[in-house]
């Protein structure tokens, strides 16, 4: 076996240009697979980080709320939710896993800026601002994005934050400093073909749309008794939400204000209790522990524990999409490497036909000839794959420190362009093994053909 490896290495060195070209093809293929896999992993971890910051790893809800209750918070509110939160915080097992446990209330309604005769249906969420700020600090995967406090923190009880799209609809652009909407609002009244001087005159004569400084809105919602209830709120900020459909309807409130809007003078409830863990790996154990606690101590409440992936179906769907893309890219690049190695070994067989006949005449068996060429393919595969892994790690390090940025879908701010190749040892190992095997198998067919050559035909080959 040692002699075969020695001969295989010498044979590869006989035509260094061809061997180097084949190695480069394998290196490029391995780098492409690992860098794309690392980039996909980074996107998935980024999505997970966003979901965990917004809603926690787990949410405790009334059974059926996720499927049927989003439009009816009054019927699916959790009673005496503070007892459940205290029980979670006092549990000796969960205490070491959890970072934040906080209640939230989600409701729908109609928001109006009646001074401008503007209104639309909205989605409102009541939360504890300080807890939301703590949840935004979760960064288990060491992303370099800038963390911001909740805009509602340290504001009055009647404060609200709305999406920039909703601010445009309610004509609150000027007082909230929302860019790029005052001109379009006037243009919509005058028509798309109005001259610039007419638009400027109309803007000067429309104080309700351009000079009004009030930021108060009224929010109409259905109370627990089924009667309409109205609250007046002061909008302290318009914040871009990333997705236009959500940006056009989003309203954030302080939890007590949202509870008064829905439950009035009755005992306040919440629609969910969000639980944020220290590490995502703790999720299965924490979910099982919480379910056991709720079943034993709060069975009458009929509660469910849902993880962030179930609450956000796009997470698993995006994961599945990237898995399919990765498998397709991996198969395509493996096929290219296969043909490159087959071409290299086939050319080598043709050039060494006389040599093969000489070896057979000297007593070498067909298996020895076949093993020699397979060994050459294996050396090409192992060397090229090892070099590809090293180059991929170096390129990944360079990209991570290059300062390049990009803006993922559903994000507002740009983030650093990173690829998580280092640490993905299972992916690296599988890539190494598969590409080495592909290179070896690619040499098998030319080796089989070389071993079956007739000695007489091989010796007289020109």
- pLDDT single digits (tens) 375-392: 888 888 888 899 999 999
Query: In whole angstroms, what is the distance from residue 375 CA to residue 404 CA?
Result: 42
User: Tokens at residue 65, please?
Assistant: 């709320």
Query: In whole angstroms, what is the distance from residue 420 CA to residue 372 CA?
Result: 38
Residues 286 and 324 in one domain: no
Cβ neighbour number for residue 356 with a 10 Å cutoff: 21
Give yes or no for a contact between 98 and 134, defined as CB atoms under 8 angstroms apart: no
201 has pLDDT over 60: no
Residues 255 and 365 in one domain: no
Bridging pattern class, strands 250-254 and 415-416 = unpaired
5 or 254, greater pLDDT: 254
Q: Which helix (H) or strand (E) holds 111?
A: strand 98-113
How confident is the model over 145-183, as pLDDT tens digits? 777 889 999 999 999 999 999 999 998 988 888 877 754
Domain boundary among 301, 330, 356: 301
Residues 160 and 279 in one domain: yes
Residues 29 and 154 in one domain: no
Domain boundary among 245, 270, 301: 301
Residues 242 and 129 in one domain: yes
196 has pLDDT over 70: no
Task: Report the number of distinct structural domains present in the chain.
Answer: 2
* Nearest residue to 447 via CA among 354, 356, 340: 356
Domain boundary among 301, 333, 365: 301
Q: Which residue has the tokens 């803007």?
A: 203
Residues 10 and 121 in one domain: no
- 190 within domain boundaries: no
The gap from C-alpha 224 to its chain's centroid, in whole angstroms, comes to 37
Give yes or no for a contact between 293 and 285, defined as CB atoms under 8 angstroms apart: no
Radius of gyration of the chain from its Cα atoms, rounded to whole angstroms: 33
- Tell me how many helices (H) and strands (E) the chain has: 18, 11
Residues 141 and 274 in one domain: yes
Give Cα separations from 42 to 46, 48, 192, 391 (angstroms).
6, 10, 43, 19
Q: Please, which residues bridge with residue 108 across strands?
A: 123
Bridging pattern class, strands 118-127 and 250-254 = parallel
Max Cα separation, the chain? Answer: 104
* Nearest residue to 110 via CA among 214, 218, 252, 216: 218
Residues 260 and 130 in one domain: yes
What confidence score (pLDDT) does residue 424 get?
A: 87
Residues 437 and 390 in one domain: yes
Q: In 184-339, which ranges are E strands?
A: 216-222, 228-239, 250-254, 272-277, 303-307
* Nearest residue to 27 via CA among 391, 422, 423, 456: 391
Indicate the pLDDT class of residue 435, thresholds 50, 70 and 90.
confident
Bridging pattern class, strands 303-307 and 58-62 = antiparallel
116 or 121, greater pLDDT: 121
Indicate the pLDDT class of residue 419, thresholds 50, 70 and 90.
confident
- 225-228, Cβ contacts within 8 angstroms, sequence gap of 24 or more: 225/264, 226/74
199 or 109, greater pLDDT: 109
Q: What is the mean pLDDT of residues 447-451?
A: 72
Query: In whole angstroms, what is the distance from residue 446 CA to residue 451 CA?
Result: 9
Query: In whole angstroms, what is the distance from residue 462 CA to residue 460 CA?
Result: 6
460 has pLDDT over 90: no
For the whole prediction, is pTM greater than 0.95?
A: no
Residues 88 and 158 in one domain: yes
- 26 within domain boundaries: yes
- 101 within domain boundaries: yes
What confidence score (pLDDT) does residue 4 get?
A: 66
Query: In whole angstroms, what is the distance from residue 233 CA to residue 215 CA?
Result: 8
- 381 within domain boundaries: yes
How confident is the model over 301-358, as pLDDT tens digits? 889 999 999 999 999 999 999 999 999 999 999 888 888 888 887 777 777 767 677 7
How confident is the model over 75-107, as pLDDT tens digits? 888 988 999 999 999 999 999 999 999 999 999
- 189 within domain boundaries: no
Residues 30 and 153 in one domain: no
Structural domain of 11: 2-48+316-459
């Amino acid at each position: 076996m040692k002699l075969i490896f020695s001969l295989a290495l010498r044979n590869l060195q006989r035509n260094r240009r061809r061997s180097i070209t084949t190695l480069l093809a394998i290196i490029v293929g391995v780098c492409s697979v690992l860098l794309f896999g690392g980039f996909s992993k980074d996107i998935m971890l980024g999505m997970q980080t966003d979901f965990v910051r917004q809603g926690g790893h787990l949410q405790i809800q009334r059974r059926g709320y996720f499927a049927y209750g989003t439009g009816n918070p009054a019927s699916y509110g959790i009673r005496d939710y503070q007892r459940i939160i205290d029980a979670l915080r006092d549990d000796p097992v969960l205490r070491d896993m959890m970072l934040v446990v906080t209640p939230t209330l989600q409701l729908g309604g109609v928001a109006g800026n009646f001074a401008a005769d503007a209104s639309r249906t909205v989605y409102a969420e009541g939360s504890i601002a300080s807890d939301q700020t703590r949840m935004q600090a979760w960064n288990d995967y060491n992303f370099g994005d800038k963390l911001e406090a909740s805009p509602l923190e340290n504001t009055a009880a009647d404060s609200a934050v709305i999406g920039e799209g909703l601010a445009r609809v309610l004509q609150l652009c000027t007082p909230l400093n929302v860019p790029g909407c005052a001109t379009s609002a006037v243009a919509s009244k005058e028509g798309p073909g109005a001259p610039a001087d007419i638009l400027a005159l109309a803007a000067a004569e429309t104080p309700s749309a351009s000079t009004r400084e009030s930021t108060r809105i009224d929010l109409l919602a259905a109370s627990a008794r089924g009667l309409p209830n109205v609250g007046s709120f002061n909008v302290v900020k318009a914040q871009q939400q990333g997705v236009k459909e959500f940006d056009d309807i989003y309203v954030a409130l302080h939890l007590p204000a949202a509870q008064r809007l829905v439950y009035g003078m009755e005992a306040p409830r919440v629609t969910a209790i969000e639980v944020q863990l220290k590490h995502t790996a703790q999720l299965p154990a924490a979910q099982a522990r919480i379910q056991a606690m709720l079943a034993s101590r709060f069975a009458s409440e009929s509660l469910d524990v849902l993880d962030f992936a179930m609450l956000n179906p796009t997470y698993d769907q995006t994961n599945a999409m990237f898995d399919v893309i990765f498998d397709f890219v991996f198969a395509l690049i493996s096929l290219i490497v296969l043909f490159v190695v087959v071409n290299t070994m086939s050319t080598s067989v043709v050039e060494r036909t006389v040599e093969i006949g000489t070896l057979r005449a000297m007593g070498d068996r067909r298996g020895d000839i076949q093993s020699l060429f397979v060994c050459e393919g294996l050396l090409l595969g192992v060397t090229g794959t090892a070099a590809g892994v090293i180059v991929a790690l170096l390129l990944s390090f360079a990209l991570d420190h290059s300062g390049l940025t990009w803006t993922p879908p559903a994000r507002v701010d740009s983030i650093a362009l990173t690829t998580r190749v280092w640490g993905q040892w299972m992916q690296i190992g599988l890539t190494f093994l598969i590409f080495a095997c592909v290179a070896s198998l690619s040499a098998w067919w030319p080796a089989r053909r070389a071993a079956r050559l007739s000695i007489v035909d091989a010796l007289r080959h020109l």
